[in-house]
Amino acid sequence: MTRRAESAPSRVARSARLALLAEVLLVGVLVCLAALPVVTALASAGAGARALRSLVADGRTPTARAFAADLVAGLRDPLALALPPLLLVVGALDVLALLGGLPGGAVLGPAIGLALVAVVVVLLRCAARWEPGARWSALLASPPAGVVGDVAVACALVVVVLVVLQAPGFAVVAPGLLVFASVAVAGR
């Protein structure tokens, strides 16, 4: 049996796609590690988005050093430190109220859950536009418009949550995939 030779352009295209995947996964791990303390989650999303934007725009491979510098720049804004724990507390209280038998919980629970998803989508879309020196309050005051982009990021969020529930090992790269989705939506 003879084997057909693979053309050089297709090998280059495949290796470029694999390199992009590897770099997105690297950013995912960096974002996940940086977001572990919870208070750094928003700044780590902004730093990850900046790394992915520079990868796509300039072809620069993301480095841990550049990511760390962007993370520190993002943490200089107190709003970036306050929002993630606040969202975590609201979400935890929502779950506790539902588990405790909150009257009207069948209506309020999903409504609050959808509101939290909407807030996370807005935060991800704002993180996709973040640059060092930008104020999170300014980004949040004028979030990116577009229902299609919001729905796309919300779908990515749902898919990533379902994947992590089915295969918890993906939790390591899940934050990076969400950041990648938000950067892709912002770049379309």
Read off the tokens for 142: 């004028």
Q: Where are the alpha helices (DSSP H) in the chain?
A: 8-35, 41-58, 64-74, 78-99, 105-127, 136-141, 147-166, 174-186
Interval 40-44 mean pLDDT: 91
Read off the tokens for 21: 């995947």
Percentage of residues in the chain having pLDDT higher than 90: 34
Interval 10-29 mean pLDDT: 79
Read off the tokens for 28: 């995912």
Spatial separation of the C-alpha atoms in residues 44 and 127, rounded to whole Å: 9
Q: b/e map of 15-48 (b: 16 or more CB within 10 Å)?
A: eeeeeeeebbebbbebbbebbeeebbbbbbbbbb
Would the pTM of this model clear 0.85, i.e. be above it? no
Residue 125: per-residue pLDDT: 92
Residue that is written with structure tokens 């730093």 in the block: 47
Q: What's the mean pLDDT when you consider all of the chain?
A: 86
